Amino acid sequence: PLPPPPPPRRRPGARARGAHYDVRLTVGEGAELRWLPEQLISAHGSDLAMRTRIDLAAGARLVFREEQVLGRHGEAPGTLATRLTVHRAGRPLLDQELGYGPGAPGGWDGGAVLGGHRAAGQLLVVEPEFGERPAETRMLGDNAVLTPLAGPGFLVTAVAPDARLLRRTLDDVLHTHLATR
């Protein structure tokens, strides 16, 4: 007789209690961090809680990108809850929480809440110079907005029909910002 087949492999977070992904970053005085991880794909059946905490010294610089893709091509998303908390010089600069997919808090149960878009992301830029010259709020095309923070930085929030267009939107802002530094 043949041995039984191996049990099916589970995707990250595809278990009863869900998975957790926690990142903690610290940026010291005068230092700069560019944290640009690859896109996170919330595959059908997954359940992931992702938390990112960033602590910045008063004179630190930060470029942080976060992108979520809601399901692979042609599939419904899994459940994804994210929280981004940023402190600068010990004070809160940004604290935001988002949820997507079935069972997500606040009724976010798919791409329909995002106007048919399947990708969402943000780009956070913190630089001491923004304390003297804050960025101006502006729309970036039809699906993205740049918002100054009540501190030396700005946040770009974007949605897009797919991962490629989301990345292009955020990269355009990043390249423009870096070119004007």
> Which residue would you say has higher pLDDT here, 111 or 82?
82
- CA distance readout (Å), 173 to 5, 76, 117: 49, 29, 20
Q: Could you give the strand order of the β-sheet that contains 91-100, starting from the edge strand earlier in sequence?
A: 19-27, 47-56, 79-88, 91-100
Q: Specify the residue for token string 């791409």.
A: 111
133's CB contacts (< 8 A; 6+ apart) are none
Find the mean pLDDT for residues 74-81: 87
Tell me the average pLDDT of the chain: 87
Amino acid at 179: A
In angstroms, the CA 120 to CA 111 distance is 10
pTM for the model: 0.85
In angstroms, the CA 168 to CA 141 distance is 12
In angstroms, the CA 158 to CA 176 distance is 16
In angstroms, the CA 49 to CA 97 distance is 11
Domain ranges of the chain: 19-179
For 27-148, where are the alpha helices, taking DSSP H only?
A: none
Residues 86-111: pLDDT tens digits? 999 999 999 999 888 887 766 555 55
Largest CA distance in the chain: 76
How does strand 144-148 pair with strand 153-160? antiparallel
Give the pLDDT confidence score for residue 118 in this predicted structure.
87
Q: Specify the residue for token string 């087949």.
A: 5
Q: Above 70 in pLDDT, residue 112? A: no
Task: Name the band, by pLDDT with cuts 50, 70 and 90, for residue 74.
Answer: confident
- The number of angstroms, rounded, from the C-alpha of 73 to the middle of its chain's C-alpha atoms is 20
> Which residue would you say has higher pLDDT here, 131 or 108?
131
71, 44 Cβ separation under 8 angstroms: yes
